[in-house]
Amino acid sequence: MFGLNPEPHLLFLLLVLGLLSHSVQSIRFEVQSDHFKCITEDIRSKSLTVGNYSIANPNQGQPLPESHKLIVRVLSPSGKVNHLGDHIQSGQFAFQTVEAGNYIACFIVAEDKDKHDPHITLSVDFDWKSGVAAREWTNVAKKTNVDAMASSVMNLLETASSIHAEMSYLRYREDENQMFSWETNTRMFWLSLVSLVVSFSVAGLQLWHLKTFFEKNKIIIFF
């Protein structure tokens, strides 16, 4: 009616809100056979998280050697294994978090018993998304304008809900930190008070002991 297309504005707002409401880690790192590499991500509860990983091939067009394999474990804050990849060159995981906290993804070079030189250094590409970034609404959107607008609105609502949940989680963590700080200050106050009482008590006891000693030896005469 007004000659304006609202879809770009929605997509721009979606992009801005999306950057504030989700977490994305897309990195490349090296793993040596004598060491392991762990990546942590602080994720709130009831949040979707997905990850993709693969060994980077230095020789494009050539297959990776059979000795280039990884063991991958994704652990929850309580130590539960949410994903396990054993002797693989690439893989992915996706799950809904149950508890909030630091989730850990660890990468280990799988041992090759037939290889004489076990020392290997692998480059790993790792893409880890959580929150709104993990929900690919564009994959299910249809090509018509109406369906594209509906998909944008659904994504916008999901983004707003994720922002609200993330703010609630951050507020909870802030209240938890404030309570811990208050308890620490209270304990320090009582510890300082007890230390003062003990110090004055010891000083009074020493004065009483010196007074008794001097009176007994008649060094000082008290009237």
CATH number of the domain at 135, please.
2.60.120.380
- Identify whether 219 is part of a domain: no
- Identify whether 193 is part of a domain: no
Count of the separate structural domains present in the chain: 1
Which of the residue ranges 29-43, 109-123, 144-158, 177-191 would you say has the lowest mean pLDDT? 144-158
Instruction: Give the domain range for residue 35.
Output: 23-141
Decide if pLDDT at 108 tops 70.
Answer: yes
- Identify whether 18 is part of a domain: no
Dihedral of the alpha carbons of 114, 117, 118, 122, in degrees to the nearest 10? -110
How many whole angstroms separate alpha carbon 45 and alpha carbon 165?
9
The per-residue pLDDT for range 80-95, each reduced to its tens digit, is 999 999 999 999 999 9
- Identify whether 169 is part of a domain: no
- Identify whether 159 is part of a domain: no
Check: pTM over 0.75? Answer yes or no: no
Task: Identify the helix (H) or strand (E) that includes residue 169.
Answer: helix 145-216
- Identify whether 49 is part of a domain: yes
Decide if pLDDT at 223 tops 80.
Answer: no
- Identify whether 94 is part of a domain: yes
Distances (CA, A) of 83 to 44, 56, 106, 149: 18, 21, 10, 35
The per-residue pLDDT for range 20-76, each reduced to its tens digit, is 445 556 889 999 887 889 999 999 888 888 999 999 988 877 888 888 899 999 999
- Identify whether 6 is part of a domain: no
Which of the residue ranges 118-122, 146-150, 174-178 would you say has the lowest mean pLDDT? 146-150
Contact residues for 110 (Cβ-Cβ < 8 A; gap 6+): 69, 70, 71, 86, 87
Q: Specify the higher pLDDT residue, 163 or 107.
A: 107
Decide if pLDDT at 129 tops 70.
Answer: yes
